[in-house]
Amino acid sequence: MAATNPGETIDVLIYGPHKPKVIAGFPGRFTTHVFATRNDLERLSPEIAARIRGIAVTGLVQADRKMLEQFPKVEMIASFGVGYDHVDFRYAAEKGIIVTHTPEVLTEEVADTALGLLIATLRDFINADRFVRAGKWDTGSFPLSAGSLRDRTVGMVGMGRIGQAIARRLAASLVPVVYHSRNPAPGVTYKHYPDLMEMAKEVDTLVLITPGGASTEKMINAEVLKALGPRGVVVNVARGSVVDEPALIAALKEGTIQAAGLDVFAREPHVPEELRKLPNVVLLPHIASASVTTRDAMDMLVVDNLKAWFDGKPPLTPVPETPYKGH
């Protein structure tokens, strides 16, 4: 329960990549304990762990059952990012712990990145940039790109907040859009395919923007890639776990599909050497939301969720599985 007495100090754990703006967000009545990694966290004394009432998770560090069990008094876990597959929200729900995330404030930024990554992949922008830097333009022309947005149909995998923002951009670019998700998205008029394979057979481009976790694990597998065909392009701004990475590498090498644009990987920050060597991929280091403006808004939402809770107010952006039923 979040009720706090005047003058009472609230202990908050800040866990994950260093974020000065999150740390600075807890002045006065909060005592913060900052730990970047799981190894660092082992230095936290059981006495302090027993006092922690709020946790800010500032990146994709695992807040799993084993980690969370150290904090018997925790009331809220405020996670940075809209995806929360790194937080054991089921354990949290069992214990009555609120989990929050940072939806909406990153939607348009991530959608911009997805469209940019798709176009860069199709039109070979990264190799074109390398061509100019290497001084090769003086002696020849850059080859025409094999890909184009002009002759494609995009199958969105996921049609939630960000999926819809990507689809809006594609529609404005006159690109036909269809989508797969388990349920039709309310108010969305693009054609819905309840069956991913059926959609993969009908389109040549997939843009992935689902959550990670068990229900989407390796859903883009060898069979789906084969169905997409030799003009196939996959853009993944969802989670690395959504794609069977070895199957994707094989498909790119063997020409089963044409190209891929990837912001996320199975074992970040590790990117397999085989993937890094391929000419037909554009690889980004999980930066879809990574502008100063958007990351500041995400930081603030992490802080504001915890502050609202300890002010006795409802969580601002709880995840759907969270057990909040009023203070």
DSSP lists the bridge partners of residue 179 as 156, 192
| Sole binder of ligand 8YV in the list 95, 202, 286, 297 (CB under 6 A) | 286
121 lies in the site for ligand NAP, by CB under 6 A:
no
Spatial strand order in the sheet of 205-208? 191-193, 177-180, 154-157, 205-208, 233-236, 259-262, 281-283
Minimum gap (Å) between residue 184 Cβ and ligand 8YV: 23
Cβ proximity to ligand NAP: between 22 and 162 the closer is 162
Residue nearest to ligand 8YV (CB): 81
Q: Which does 211 bind (CB under 5 to 8 A by kind): ligand 8YV, ligand NAP, none?
A: ligand NAP
Q: Which does 263 bind (CB under 5 to 8 A by kind): ligand NAP, ligand 8YV, none?
A: ligand NAP
Active site residues: 239, 268, 286
21 lies in the site for ligand 8YV, by CB under 6 A:
no
Using CB under 6 A as the binding rule, the residues of this chain from 251 to 270 that contact ligand NAP are 263-264
Using CB under 6 A as the binding rule, the residues of this chain from 169 to 188 that contact ligand 8YV are none
110 lies in the site for ligand NAP, by CB under 6 A:
yes
233 lies in the site for ligand NAP, by CB under 6 A:
no
Q: Helix axis angle, 107-123 relative to 125-133, nearest 10°?
A: 70
106 lies in the site for ligand 8YV, by CB under 6 A:
yes
Q: Which does 80 bind (CB under 5 to 8 A by kind): ligand NAP, ligand 8YV, none?
A: ligand 8YV
Residues in the chain: 327
192 lies in the site for ligand NAP, by CB under 6 A:
no
Q: How far apart are CA 50 and CA 201, in angstroms?
A: 54
Under 8 Å between Cβ of 179 and 156: yes
Q: How far apart are CA 268 and CA 285, in angstroms?
A: 8
Minimum gap (Å) between residue 197 Cβ and ligand 8YV: 26
- Other beta carbons within 10 angstroms of residue 136's beta carbon come to 12
Under 8 Å between Cβ of 283 and 276: yes
**φ and ψ at 235, to 5 degrees?**
-115, 125
